[in-house]
Structure formats: structure tokens, C-alpha cells
Amino acid sequence: MGEETREFRQHSPKSGFDPATGVYHSLARLGEEYKIPTRHDLDTATFVLSQFPHPDHAESRVALIDSATNQRVSYGQLRHSVRALASGLYHALGVRKGDVVFLLSPNSVLYPTICLAIFSLGAILSPANPINTESEIVKQVRDSGAKLIISAPGELHKLKQVTVSTIITSHSNQSKNESVSVEELIECCDPTELPKSELTQSDTAAILYSSGTTGTSKGVILTHSNFLSIMVLMKWTVNVTDSQNDVFLCFLPMFHIYGLAFFGLGLFCSGITVVVMQKFDLTAMLDAVKVHKVNNIPAVPPVILGLVKYCKPGSDLSSLKRVGSGAAPLSKELSEAFRRKFPWVELRQGYGLTETCGATSFFVSDEDARARAGSCGALLPSFCGKIVDVETVVGLGPCRRGELLIKSPTIMQGYLGNEEATRETIGEDGWLRTGDLGYFDEDGFLYVVDRIKELIKHNGYQVAPAELEALLLSHPNILDAAVIPLEDEEAGEIPMAYVVRATGSQLTEDQVIQFVAAQVAPYKKVRRVAFISAIPKSAAGKILRKQLVSLSQQQVVAKL
């Protein structure tokens, strides 16, 4: 403790930066009630269930609401379902510690039950994106080494080439599948017949698939210790932002670390009510906010953009108090446009990666968030950061751009079966290379500019696509935009913009080029523009630039 105190005194009290080491330290401290558990034999499910409301209140406190059917699940029912399902998985299906359970399903009120039941057995959760193709699903099943698959009935057709035992989440009126279902196991199995847990914090809890900081999809290994740290930090953020009585809306995919950490696990540590949508739809989201008096919406930049560009003045968002943004950079321009349209709503951006179990920085204060549009907040308690020169790896001080490195108790164990990629991402000293270009300001607030590998190299200059996209989105006749590199013999690469025009707009390529050119340095100018009906994005809201690069190459070939 004395060593930590001496170290803390060396930091700038304003930014947390230590010029001797080049390290930025979090200035936030957890109170005694939020200490990260040190008990070695504590697992994620045991911890989350221990945070549920007292049994006297568990039946009256609503944990989950299905936005489509209005089905409600109390905390008491959720606890019973987790234990009954764990019992069924253990006794009826032979799931044991270390077995990988592959989960293929859209959001549902059953999703948290399934995740917690898997964790409680010491089995390993590996969730998948249900919009993935059959070949992508098969690859993940094989790569993860799955021993059991839990699938929504509508996704079974993607598992024809898989020989792994499979059960379904629930039987629908249309489903004639004879497979046992999760719902049947919950109804039939004794929640008291559970084996004694022999888990430790160092055991693997989940394998989540991410693009990683570079390259193709990789299995990110997260331990119970990683999740326990995130659960404590989430409970802290809910309380310090006065969100504990809010009703949260979930349309973020629960297979993604953002959705899993929030809605599959974390919010239940604070007794929160979560309204679940199977997938995002703007009209359905607005209806859910009105009907269920939603106060808090963790979101992604495309949702923020949709609210700004498409939300009609008559929509009832009076209950809304907070909107969060993560998974991709939220520009200063879009932040300010949102606040102008919804001045009563707090907008707070955060930053995290699958490799950091979903968190790194966050805004505790709405005042700070408003004063620093474009920033993704300050480092969370127990986190450290570095900004290093992309070429020399030398540490940089405040307001200087470089690659962001992170160290925290939430850092992944590594990539499944890929020691080379793990070594490239996590150094021997424990620092995680994020692959993101960013900087800390003089007050210790983090700004993420772009992905380093997505920077456009134009005549030796580096151009950040996110900066140009933010500028394009400020145009009244542009609904969405993405910027990619286009190969050029003279300049190496030139910025090319794909633009979604507003309905009825006759916006031309030259008008877009001139709009950008009037506001940026010459090397940043957009040189080519193509119009498109929709920008391809991942479920987490990230622009799928590879698809656009491929499209641009096809268009160039077609013109030859």
C-alpha cells in the first residue's frame, strides 16, 4: 500500500501522468465497498447472484422485461432459472468444468440465464453472432472446441455441418424440432442438485471472438477474474452516476462484450431492470422508451446518429436521462448535435475492447462529458494507460498522438491457440497494444482518433477516416458516411467517401468534395465520392471498411 501511495504522489494531480515512466494512472479510487474480490475460489456467477436483491424483495423486483411480449422475470425467478438450468446441463447433458458451450441466439430474456448457468458450472461460454454465415459459425464451433451448442430454433439451419450435441433455447409454435430446450430444463430440473463449485478466479470463463487489435477473427480468452473486475467497476459506475434506479434498454447484442458485460451480467449486480429487444429497430426502440419509461440506453454511434437524423419531434423521450456510447468512436460533431436535439439527456462516451473485457475509460460526470465532446472519458479505477509513438514506441505526454496501450486486471489471457498474436498484442510487461490511435489531454481524458491500421497514408501524411466521417455527417443532406483508402499511383492512397444521401437529395460528388475541402488541410481532402444506400456495419456499430474497400476495387475494375 505504501508503494502504491508513493507511486500515486509522483503523478500529475490533474492528468495522472508520470513523466518518469510515461504512464497515465487513473485518478479515480474505489471505495471499500467496491474492492475487487481477492478470494481465489470466487467465480463470476456466484458473485453476480450474491449481489441480487435480498430474498424478501427478489420476487417483487423485476430483472428483465421482453419488449415484444411484455414477459417479466423477477430477480427471484432469474436466480431459480440459473440454478435449475445449471442442474439440467450438469445432470442431463453432462456439462462439466472446462467444457465449451457454444451459444447461438439473438437477444432474449433467457440469454442472461444461459450465461450465468454456464459460468456457475465452470464451463466456458462462447457466444456467436447469429447473423454470421454457416461457414463462419462452423469455423467458430470448431476453433472453440465446443462440447455443446445451445441454439435459437431459427439458427439451427446453420449447424447442419456440425456434429456437436445441440439443444434449443425454446420451442415455438412453428418449431417441430424434437431437441430438448433450455425452457424445459428450467421447468423440470431441481435447482438444489448442483455440484460443489471447484472454480478459481484464474479459470477461463469465456471465449469471445473479436477481430483482435489486428488481423482476422480470434478467440479472446477471458477469465473469471477478468469478469469479476468488470462487475465491480460496473457496480461502481452505476452508483457514482446515480443510475441505480434507472430502467435500461438492451438492444446491444449480448454475444458482444459490450452487451454481455452490461446486460448479460453487470447490471444485475445493481438490481437494475432491463428491457430486452431482440435486435435494434429505431421505431421499436422509441416505443419501448415510451411504454417502459426507459431512463438509460447504452448505445453505439449509429444509434446516436439515428436519433439525431431520424427521430421525429413528436417522439416521447421525456423519461430518458442518459445515453451511453461505446464500441466505436463518437465524434465531437455528432455529440454536439445530439445535445442540441436532446438537451435534457446526458450523453457519455466510454471506451473498451473485447481484449479488456469491455471497459477502459468512462465519464463519471455529465459536466465533464459536455465540456469534452469527442472524448471517451477518464481511465477507470485500477487502469493505467500509455501513449507511444507508432514508429519508435517512445512514451508520449499529454496532447500527443500515438498508439494507446492499456494495463488493468481486466486484460485477457490471450488469443485461443495463437501464441504469436498474443505475443504481438500483450508485452512481457503486461501492457496490451490496442491498435488505436489516441491521446490523453492535460486533464487525463482520453481521445481515440482511429484505428492505426485504418489510417490513410497520403503523400506521407496520415489521414484519420473518423475525422472526415464526422465532418461529412455534419452536412444536412448526408445521413451516413464512411471513408476508406483508395490506391493511387502518385499519392500512395487517397481518401474516398461512401455517402448515404438524405431522401430526395440531389447532392453531387463535386459538392461533397468541396464541402470537405473548405474545412480541412489539403492532404485530408476527399478525392473520390460514391453514393450508397447504406453503410455496412457490424452488430457493434463498427464500419465494415473491408467490404467498402472490396466494393471500390470492383468499381475501379468495372470502369477499366
pLDDT of 10 reads 54
| CA 551, 553, 556, 558 torsion-angle sign | negative
Residues 405/433, Cβ–Cβ less than 8 Å: yes
Q: Are strands 432-440 and 402-407 parallel, antiparallel or unpaired?
A: antiparallel
H or E element at residue 456: strand 456-458
Distance CA 361, CA 525 (A): 31
Which residue in 171, 169, 174 sits closest to 108, CA to CA? 169
pLDDT of 464 reads 84
Distance CA 86, CA 35 (A): 28
Q: How far is CA 375 from the centre of its chain?
A: 17
Long-range residue pairs from 312-320, CB within 8 A, at least 24 positions apart, any chain: 315/286, 315/290, 316/286, 316/289, 316/290, 317/286, 317/289, 317/290, 317/342, 317/345, 319/247, 319/289, 319/290, 319/293, 319/294, 319/295, 320/289, 320/294, 320/295, 320/296, 320/344, 320/345
Residue 512: exposed, middle, or buried by beta-carbon count in 10 A (0-12, 13-18, 19+)? Answer: buried
Gyration radius (Cα) of the chain, Å: 24
Domain 71-224+253-270: CATH architecture, name and number where available: 3-Layer(aba) Sandwich (3.40)
Type of residue numbered 82 = V
Give, for all 560 residues of the chain, the pLDDT tens digit.
333 333 444 556 678 899 999 999 999 888 777 888 888 889 999 999 999 998 888 899 999 999 999 999 999 999 999 999 999 999 999 999 999 999 999 999 999 999 999 999 999 999 998 988 888 899 899 999 999 999 999 999 999 999 999 999 997 654 556 678 999 999 999 888 887 778 899 999 999 987 544 446 789 999 999 999 999 999 999 988 888 889 999 999 999 999 999 999 999 999 999 999 998 889 999 999 999 999 999 998 888 988 998 887 778 899 999 999 987 778 888 899 999 999 999 999 999 999 999 999 999 889 999 999 889 999 999 999 999 998 888 999 999 999 999 999 999 999 999 999 999 999 989 999 999 999 999 999 999 988 888 888 887 777 888 889 989 999 999 999 999 998 887 788 899 999 999 999 999 999 999 999 998 888 899 999 999 999 998 776 778 888 898 888 776 555 54
Helix crossing, 75-91 with 111-120: angle to 10°?
50
C-alpha cell belonging to residue 407: 494495463
Cβ neighbours of residue 316 under 8 Å, at least 6 residues apart?
286, 289, 290
Type of residue numbered 185 = L
| Domain limits, the chain | 71-224+253-270, 457-559
The string of DSSP letters for 367-390 reads HHHHHTTT---EEPTT-EEEEE-T
CB-CB neighbours of 276 under 10 Å: 25
C-alpha cell belonging to residue 120: 456457475
Please say whether the structural domain 457-559 has been given the CATH code 3.40.250.10. no
Distance CA 81, CA 84 (A): 5
pLDDT of 132 reads 84
